[in-house]
Chains A and B, each alone.
Chain A
């Protein structure tokens, strides 16, 4: 488990990370969510000890950061780059050796991974001769080759085509199954929604109040208990019902928001006596709409969908 407690980091006059706490457990995928500039990358750099925090604590299964721990962390940075003029195999071996893997072992592992990613034929090519997608695969290999206990991926899906997104997802699930701590950051909620077991939403360096916990907890907390109904008859009474908090009424269609303690099926039972209901739909909020609701107004650099991202 990676445990973060009251983390704080300030750059001259900007507080990039302000009192952030969370636990990322083994065997779960933890989402570090937030709009651009929220402090996700800074948080990750603090986790990796690339930056040192002004305040707060980070522990890895109870231990503070040490140089020996570096070998147990796999990291994929948001901005991708590799040595353009170096050969593929040499590059992977170098990064593996930097993580404490012996050279012979690194060579063997690198070949296994290259085979899996269908890149074995490129092993002696220079990185710059590879397509962008293939370069990205090489980077995934570099961040995972040493079989890290803690996998930290910053915007892992950005710039990936659908096929590689699937491959990435497969790797994610594999890492989770192996009981590793997987933290990934993203500002694309669709990705988070499909993968995260637990999440924390940060904005302007702070955790958005109540926006943390398991996916269903968060959805429940911010769920609007919304109902769409289609009907025949006079629906004007709907707006004056005291268990309805919000009502938008049309000729034979209405969007309602019920009070939190009201169950939708109970509500249905009370209205069928007065109306001929032709369609009834309960709507669970998407992470996307929660995200918009929570940070949409406040954030200036909001970006919820990515141009080249495939939804």
Chain B
């Protein structure tokens, strides 16, 4: 006899694969991912096309000129025009100059104002006033250039020869290389690495979230419509639960495969990104276990509540745990073996995302990999077992939510 589990799984798959929600998520998820992942870097890498005018309130009689000259020399627009032009405020009362400059900045005539006091040669800080003081690229570039000028000027005043000044001022660029046990070495592009694991984590997150919600929705629908009575008169609660998880997992796999096929054929860099990640073969293990763990949690919750709204409240809190490592992703890249990240990796609800982030930078020690997988596996089994117990009774009980004590009784009952 064909197992009823497959009948349930087939229906869950077929009903959802044709639903509008699924088709929408098929399109929206990559869109959101690209939005989250690529837009910031796109903007960061985007070159400006217009010359930016920056005001300088200058008490000295030389600094602005040097700065202007150096900026024009170093930063050019694609059309060979200078990226930055300086508007210098001088020869008036310092306070008046600053007020005038502020006014222009507020009127958006200029991007912002740097204040150079007479004492600049000995100062360690410089003020930048703007309506957008967070323009990090501009601030960084000015900072670097001003530092160069001041350093050279200080050397000059200490009677260092021009030739030596040039020698001392030579800058240095770090060239990061990734080494591995196999003795290989390759040049690392931080962005490649970041996005490869970022994509993985986001994929996992979106998939767990969307199919988790489908799972909850289908359980709540059957429960509130009392369809579940007909279902349970036809198959066991266990078959029903497993069938649902299986059907929606198949849906998830179909979804990801489709994305990958489109991704590989249409945007080959995407594929390169994905497969350039280290320890890529470990990721599916974490992924599948994580998926099953969250699916069983969602099924258990779905069987406890009476409305979809209630269910969403609870599931969104749980999903936060899943996304939490993403918040830490930049730090995790800097130091994947920080003890905090190591500890977080052992919290099963975070293990899949945390490990995915760390693996892409440096595969953690074998012991860590094995123990986290084992722990995740056991936790998944535990949640499946517990949810099975809760599901069996919860799906039939309506009215008020059970108390913790009642839940424990359900779990203990044979």
Closest B residue to A75 by CB, please name it. B233
Please provide the chain A residues from 64 to 82 with a CB less than 8 Å away from any CB of chain B in the complex: 67-68, 70-71, 73, 75, 77, 79-82
Instruction: Please determine whether B7 and A98 come into contact, CB atoms closer than 8 angstroms.
Output: yes
Closest residue of chain A to B237 (Cβ to Cβ) is A50
Query: Is the Cβ of B226 less than 8 Å from the Cβ of A81?
Result: yes
Interface flag for A185 (CB, 8 Å): no
B227: A residues at CB distance < 8 A? 81-83
A90 to B227, CA, bound (A): 15
Which residues of A in the span 191-216 have a Cβ within 8 Å of any Cβ on B? Answer: none
Asked if A162 is at the interface of the complex by the 8 Å CB criterion, the answer is no
Q: In the complex the two chains form, what is the Cα distance from A166 to B391 in whole Å?
A: 39
Tell me the minimal C-beta distance from A271 to chain B in angstroms: 57
Can you list, as one digit per residue, whether each of B210-249 has a CB less than 8 Å from chain A (1) or not (0)? 0000000000010011110111111110000000000000
If the complex has contacts A75-B229, A98-B8, A100-B1, are A70 and B235 also in contact, measured as CB distance less than 8 A?
A: yes
B123 in contact (CB, < 8 A): no
Query: What 0/1 readout, one digit per residue, does chain A (267-296) give for beta carbons within 8 Å of chain B?
Result: 000000000000000000000000000000
Instruction: Choose one: A73, A81, A99, A100; the contact of B225 (CB below 8 Å).
Output: A81
- With a cutoff of 8 Å between Cβ atoms, the chain B residues found around residue A77 in the complex are 226, 229-230
Q: How far is the CB of B162 from chain A (nearest CB, A)?
A: 80
How far, in Å, is A20 (CB) from chain B's closest CB? 19
**How many chain A residues touch the partner (CB < 8 A)?**
29
Most buried by B among A71, A83, A84, A90: A83
Residues of chain B with a CB closer than 8 A to A81's CB: 224-227
Whether the pair B226, A98 counts as a contact (CB closer than 8 A) is no
Q: A98 contacts B4, CB within 8 Å?
A: yes
Q: Is the CB of B233 within 8 A of A70?
A: yes
B15 on the A face (CB < 8 A):
yes
Contact with B along A209-237 (1 / 0, CB 8 A): 00000000000000000000000000000
Q: Tell whether B396 is near chain A: CB-to-CB under 8 Å.
A: yes
Q: Does A22 contact B (CB under 8 A)?
A: no
Tell me, in angstroms, the Cα distance from A99 to B236 when the chains sit together: 12
Q: Are B396 and A98 in contact (CB under 8 A)?
A: no
Query: Are A67 and B236 in touch, CB under 8 angstroms?
Result: yes
Are A94 and B230 in contact (CB-based, < 8 A)? Answer: no
CB-based contact B230/A142 at 8 Å: yes
* Contacts between the two chains (Cβ within 8 Å), count: 61
CB distance from B207 to the nearest CB of A (A): 22
Alpha-carbon gap, A84 to B4, bound state (A) = 22
Please name all residues of chain A whose beta carbon is closer than 8 Å to the beta carbon of B229 when the two chains form the complex.
45, 48, 50, 75, 77, 79
* In the complex, chain A residues whose CB is within 8 Å of the CB of B396: 45, 50-51
Map CB proximity to A onto B97-126 as digits: 1 under 8 Å, 0 otherwise: 000000000000000000000000000000
Is A97 an interface residue when CB atoms closer than 8 A count as contact? yes
Question: B66 contacts the other chain (Cβ, under 8 Å)?
Answer: no
Residues of A within 8 A of B224 (CB): 81
Q: Is the CB of B1 within 8 A of A83?
A: no
A97 near B226: Cβ-Cβ < 8 Å: no
- Is A95's beta carbon under 8 Å from chain B? yes
CA distance A86 to B231 in the complex (A): 16
**Looking across the interface, which residue of chain B has its beta carbon closest to that of A98?**
B234
Q: List the B side residues contacting A83 at CB < 8 Å.
A: 15, 221, 225, 227
Chain A residues whose C-beta falls within 8 Å of the C-beta of B156 in the assembled complex: none
Interface residues of A in 112-134 (CB under 8 A from B): none
How close is B111's CB to chain A, nearest CB, in angstroms? 55
- Closest A residue by C-beta to B11: A94
Q: A95 CA to B230 CA in the complex, in Å?
A: 8
CB distance from A47 to the nearest CB of B (A): 9
Instruction: Give Cα A67–Cα B237 distance, bound, in whole angstroms.
Output: 12
Q: How far apart sit A67 and B236, CA to CA, in the bound complex (Å)?
A: 8
Among the listed A71, A75, A85, which residue makes an inter-chain contact with B230, where contact means beta carbons less than 8 Å apart?
A75
Would you list the 9 A-B pairs with minimal beta carbon distance, nearest first? A81-B225, A98-B234, A77-B229, A79-B226, A75-B233, A48-B233, A50-B232, A97-B7, A81-B226
24 contacts between A and B (CB under 8 A): A45-B396, A48-B233, A50-B229, A51-B396, A68-B1, A70-B233, A70-B234, A70-B235, A73-B233, A75-B229, A77-B226, A77-B230, A79-B229, A82-B227, A83-B227, A84-B221, A90-B15, A98-B4, A98-B7, A98-B231, A98-B234, A100-B2, A142-B230, A143-B230
Binding site for A on B (CB under 8 A): 1-2, 4, 7-8, 11, 14-15, 19, 221, 224-227, 229-236, 396
* Given A45-B229, A97-B7, A98-B235, 9 new contacts (CB under 8 A): A73-B233, A77-B230, A79-B226, A80-B226, A81-B226, A90-B15, A94-B7, A99-B234, A143-B230
